[in-house]
A and B are shown apart, each in its own frame.
Chain A
Amino acid sequence: MKCFIYLIMLILTSLLSSCASYPRLISLPFDPGGQSLNSPAAELTPQISGRYIAFSSDRRGTQDIYLFDLETKNLIDLPGLNSLDAIATYPSVDADGRHIVFAASRQGRTAIYIYDRETRQSRSLTAALLAEVRNPTISADGSRIAFESNAGGHWDILVYNQNGELLNR
């Protein structure tokens, strides 16, 4: 009888522990040479959309934007995005991985840029905005871009479309 109770307890425990396996952490690649997601340098402000993780890292001496593909477990090349004279922060990618929005500081001025992986070009969304800007984010469908601006003496949230038109005045 005692054996029987122990058996039931064992089965119950194993059942319960198998149910509790989620949420769990995914094992992610680490590369000391900086060719993968994590490296000995800092990886900052990751954002996930579909199969892509966008993040910034200072692994090559300047803080740059990187894009990681969760399906192939590889970094995706972003030609023309990063430059040596700019510090890029807060990347955000849409679900099909085509557009990356980020903040970059160049020559003392920070602007919000949108990078198109097909044309391989970045475009400033805030060239006409005389204010400090930060914390950009793009929706997964790519339709809207939101960021903070301090034009009013405090941080306000502005929402733009991809053409740089303000939607929430």
Chain B
Amino acid sequence: MINRFWLQRMIHWSLYLCLALLVACSPGDTNRLSSSLHSLYSEEQPALSGNGHDLAFVSNRNGNQQLLLYNFPQAKFIPLPGLNRPHNIVENPSLSYTGRYITYLTSDYGRPVIAMYDRATKQSQILTPIYTSWLRNPRISPDGRYVVFETAKSGQWDIEVLDRGPEIELDLPNGVSVDSSAP
């Protein structure tokens, strides 16, 4: 009988402990954004969407370096869930025509990689998982199919173009006919 009570008390305590751990691990209020485009911190590397409605940039305003997306017609920041991760830095943002695709430079176990965030699926994917040279400054084409970047594979900076393929959903202005011929 005593044993059973002891066990129940143990379960209570472990519950409290779990709860405390969970609370301690949950990140603080990371979505806290001032609504103004300007802040007292450095804002760098601007990138405009093809239609000029969105501006992506890198900012230090919330205590760590983040990629932010500002929409001019709505005059507010657009949340990008899952893009900015703790203990990682994103740089060199660029946007497709309506800002659906966001490419940026980040690191995967210390190796520079180009990643792309799709605002429709709210997910990032690494576009250069097996690229073996140093790279930097990725820029996505307005339709979202191509990504140009600098590569160090020849011993000096050269230009490389990545083709995401004919199967992707292109980010085009309304009323544009789709031409499948690739350059």
Contact = CB atoms under 8 A, between A and B. Distances in A.
A157 interface: yes
B37 A157 contact: yes
Contacts of B52: 139, 141, 143-144
Contacts of B44: 135, 148, 155, 157
B91 to A, nearest CB: 12
A139 B48 contact: yes
A86 interface: no
Interface string A53-91: 101000000000000001100000000000000000000
B137 A45 contact: yes
Interface residues of B, number: 44
Contacts of A135: 44-46
B105 interface: no
Interface in A126-155: 135, 137-141, 143-148, 152, 154-155
Nearest to A45: B137
Contacts of A21: 165
B38 interface: yes
A28 interface: yes
Contacts of B41: 154
B164 A23 contact: yes
B106 interface: no
Contacts of A152: 38
A25 B154 CA distance: 15
A49 B165 contact: no
Number of chain A interface residues as a range: 35 or more
For B41, B57, B72, B159, the residue with the greatest tally of chain A CB atoms inside 10 Å of its CB is B159
Nearest to A147: B46
Interface in A150-169: 152, 154-157, 159, 167-168
A25 B161 contact: yes
Contact of A139 (B45, B51, B149, B156): B51
A113 to B, nearest CB: 16
Contacts of B183: 51, 70-71
23 contacts: A24-B162, A25-B160, A26-B163, A28-B161, A41-B156, A46-B139, A48-B140, A48-B146, A48-B147, A70-B161, A141-B52, A144-B48, A146-B55, A152-B38, A154-B40, A154-B41, A154-B43, A155-B43, A157-B37, A157-B38, A157-B44, A157-B46, A157-B57
Given A152-B38, A157-B44, 16 more contacts: A26-B161, A28-B161, A41-B156, A42-B156, A43-B159, A44-B150, A46-B149, A53-B161, A135-B46, A137-B47, A139-B49, A140-B49, A148-B44, A157-B57, A167-B72, A168-B37
